Structure 1
């Protein structure tokens, strides 16, 4: 049976925006479920979605299509919402005892007792069914590609217990979408998709290192690993190197796919925002770390816009309209 405290009075989770739509508009009985799925913090869904959209847009460029397949973009958006929520639910089920000991996470629904574990498992099953419905709407090769990611997604929450670099596993899980768009269009995984995937892993490694600095002291007390603890005061250099690698690999993907100048301009805008993160990093300022982490959504959207504009431009040029 589902149990919760008085939801209207429940303390907000530390990194949720004050006055977010869940706290203001959602019916009280639904709030702990929406918080469990991080609906009050949509940045994670964006970061899971963006590699899917990049891959779809890059495939449009390579295939000579004027724009990314809108049906795929919508399906990936729904799937990202469902699977990010499922991943967070699974993470909180496994980490509920750890979360109670960490300042930023102690008010999460399971850690604070707003929801029972049984209710969380039922909600997890619902989200997985939504994700499965989206996956089965894709071509068979893409379905197989998507299923191959499930093992990585399942083990990620356990990695911080056994390694100092769980961000590598998170990078693989959050970057799988870089394969999915290409696989859905071409029914194969080719060099551009592999380069995009590898670059995305480096990108995730970097931004999640920034995010992990919010929990550095608590993680040390609890005894779990993270790159924030591993690198500490020297985090700026590995962050810069991971971002340089991401941009270089993305550039390779663009060349391999035959992308043009607008894709390159989008990548340059993306790279500039990553550069600003490196320059502005202050590992002792949790609020700034969170703001820098969230800026990756804008960086990713700039890259996607460049890819999409490039597909349109190349199609117009090939049609002899300009």
Structure 2
């Protein structure tokens, strides 16, 4: 296989020491930035707890923690392959392994496939319903990067891709997906729209130059208000479901901490600075962590 030619801005072209393949692969899947999979993990585990009415058991906990990390990592590989020609024009992404030529497209796709197959292997230890739900989850994950070329709100597609862990959690526990899971799914889409719009606000100037479509560009001057509305919609929908299952002061406390964080996010993004918006995005997983804690403490570890 002919090696990729490093771009002029890559570390290899500048004569910097070559990095090991393991280091490059870990960078490709954002291993040093766990916030990306934590925003996926907490709502998925929250749904798992609600479906089980308490602790779901070590097997399902391991399956969904491992599956979340693996699928998010596979998604990073697919995203970076799809965006490699765009990423070179964005300050924040110009040195990603594929864009800089240090990892080939073939290597990235192979790694993504291996990670996705490992996640499927975990799903196969549960039941048929979970496996069936995993098929559209993978398809939407593959589709998402390409929607940034033609869909004005690609973050909504990302929300769908990220939200599949919720019906899969219910399917793993109950063997079916009730209406509650749908409301939680919609709430998760709202959550992703909130924090990924914050992320898109960081790159708005670069995205406008290269013709990328994002929610931050589509929403324009209403971006901050929309982010707040999305966060509140997430909290309201999840509260409506969770309160039926775990009405307790702990639940109220969890939502109170989450609301305080939403207010902090407003203070970070209202001036629309790159720094403030990036901090808001990188800390957004604490909002869903507070919600998860409220659910766990409200339901406890019993079934």
User: Using a 3 Å threshold, how does the CA distance of structure 1 residues 3 and 143 change in structure 2: closer, same or farther?
Assistant: same
- Of 199-208 and 229-238, more deviation after overlay is shown by 229-238
State which drifts further: 291-300 or 252-261. Answer: 252-261
Of the three residues 79, 92, 95, the one matched with 1:91 is 79
More deviation, 102-111/279-288:
279-288
Whole-angstrom CA distance in 2 between matches of 1:41 and 1:283: 25
**Alpha-carbon deviation of 1:3?**
4.6
What residue is the counterpart of 1:132 in the other structure? 120
Equivalent residues of 1:211, 1:290 under 8 A apart: yes
Contact 2:28 2:77 in 1 (8 A): yes
Partner of 1:31: 23
Q: 1:264 aligns with which of 252, 258, 264?
A: 252
> For each residue in 1:196-238, what CA deviation from the matched residue of structure 2 results, as whole angstroms up to 9, or x when unmatched?
1111110110110001111101100000111111223331111
Q: Does 1:44 align with 2:40?
A: no
Equivalent residue for 2:229?
241
Task: Give secondary structure in 1 for the equivalent of 2:300.
Answer: helix
Q: Match for residue 146 of structure 1?
A: 134
Secondary structure, aligned partner of 1:68: coil
* Structure 2: unaligned runs, 5 residues or longer: 12-18
Residue 299 (structure 1) aligns with: 287
Q: Does 1:201 align with 2:189?
A: yes
For residues 152-192 of structure 1, give each alpha carbon's deviation from its aligned partner in whole angstroms, at most 9, with x where no partner exists. Answer: 11110011100121011011111111222222111111122
Equivalent in 298, 305, 309 of residue 297 of structure 2:
309
Tell me if structure 2 keeps the 8 A contact 1:192–1:257: no
Distance 1:31 1:3, change over 3 A: farther
Q: Distance in 2 between matches of 1:5 and 1:127?
A: 26
Does the CA contact (< 8 Å) of 1:51 and 1:176 recur in 2? no
Structure-to-structure mapping, 1:170-249, within 5 angstroms: 170-249=158-237
Asked if 1 retains the 8 angstrom alpha-carbon contact of 2:127 and 2:172, the reply is: yes
Q: CA deviation at 1:263?
A: 2.4
Deviation at 1:272, TM superposition (A): 2.2
- 67-76 vs 115-124, greater mean Cα deviation: 67-76
- Pairs aligned (count): 294
Structure 2 equivalent of residue 54 of structure 1: 46
CA distance in structure 1 between the aligned counterparts of 2:173 and 2:2, rounded to whole angstroms: 42
Query: Which runs of no fewer than 5 residues in structure 1 stay unpaired?
Result: 12-26, 317-322
- Residues of 1 paired with 2:256 and 2:290: CA distance? 9
TM-score (norm 1): 0.85
Deviates more, 1:292-301 or 1:279-288: 279-288
TM-score, with normalisation over the residues of structure 2? 0.90
